Structure 1
Amino acid sequence: MKPRIFIVDDEAPARSRLKTLLADIAQECPHELAGETANALGALGLIANAQADIVLLDVQMPGMNGIELASHLTRNPVTAPAVIFVTAYDEFALKAFEVHALDYLLKPVRAARLADAIRRASELRAQTISQKDAVSAVAASMQARRQHFSVQERDRVLLVPVAEVLYLKAELKYVTLRTRAQEHLIEESLTSIEEEFASTFVRVHRNALVARSAIIGVERGAQVIDADGDKVQESWQVILRDVDEKLPISRRQWPVVKALVR
């Protein structure tokens, strides 16, 4: 299978040069060009959508540099694309390998050197896919579990430790992530977060997940009048550590939450 290559470099001439080199080595090193971008901040989603196997990545870029982007790309070694840095700066080589880059090429890049790096990346990718197929579903899910949520705010990406999150609440097309200090907005679904972190968060309502360790108690909420107007339903809300806000507990989830606070 031909590797799919994605280029990330803020300089158009540099991207053009890489595409020319790739065309020159296409016969000896078959591949597909999956895409390109000048914006490192938006590259994560583009690379994922392109299903890239190899990323040719510059270091010095505005907004977010290549080292930080690589740290996100290589978070999960089973699914991560191979990262090959292509840059004019030799002083970042050590940091590049600390974020698990496969190779570090200095501009101007020779075609033979690029072909060699791509061949090694393709071989490594094939081995990784074989290893992935060999592990069990339980082991794979444990390996894929994150330790941080990625939060994009203006011209930067923040990593919020999962252990610091008190709750996540769905609001319109975003999810509000709440820590003791502040709130953040992330573009993930509660369902996917619940599946990934079932042992960390519990659903208290259809639109809210709460960290199990953050629950310190429950209390009665406001009385709710039935549609017929003459019956009062009992409602409860969860009390969280470090914040004054209390989240309502749905009747469906009440037995689950009650069991946690016993």
Structure 2
Amino acid sequence: MPLKVVIVDDELLARQELQYLVENAGDVQVLALGSNGIEAVDLIHKHKPDLVFLDVQMPGLDGFGVLKKLLEKKARLPQVVFATAYDQYAVRAFEVNAVDYLLKPFDKSRIERTIAKARERVALVEASIAPDSAEAKLDALLRLVEEASQTPKVQRGKIVLRAQNRLMLVDQKEICFVSIEDGAISVVTPAMEGQSNCRTLEELMEQLDPEAFWRAHRSYVVNIQHIREVVPWFKSSYQLRMDDPKKTEIPVSRNQTKRLRELFNL
């Protein structure tokens, strides 16, 4: 019997890529594709898949919210694989007894291993020898959802910059882009340019909102909301023209081109 699968992701390219990789894993039937959390609940309820690939971050209802809705409807829970661009969700994924979590962009060999793990889990459930009972699984999820609802969301604070011999506090949404050269990190806003005390871009990015900031190149981090234009470049590459006063053009590295296309449906 083929493994029955539903895929839900709010990015069209991600859905298509995941469908292609999953179907090529062998003996898998993709029953339906969805683009948001509400669709996910309906599709899972309708098709009763063995396995569902769920994007963690979706407008309206995220991947964890989908599972909560299924619990409220007392629906049969399939095996779950969470997909995300950020690995901070990995721990939460396994706390709800997920089969696996996948980081974007997807990797063919990782997909194949995930499918193999899912088959084992489905076989255990069908044989009624699953390592975790259904009741324990539901209890764990309910506790997680309750804790999440009671825990205030982390508020991303302001960034401290050195400019004109002064320490300035800058709201993150004002930041156009960040660059590093010879170990010095520059932060550019429409009104000013300053230096960060962070030693690496990775250290600075820990303070930035991952929903808004994207590392387009090893030397640049951009605020997606401040991209003015995507400029096609040579050999199928791109540059980003920002909305700072200098209209700075920032290169997109080849391994981030795919992410760029996903962000703007190019």
The normalised TM-score by structure 2 is 0.46
| TM-score in terms of structure 1 length | 0.46
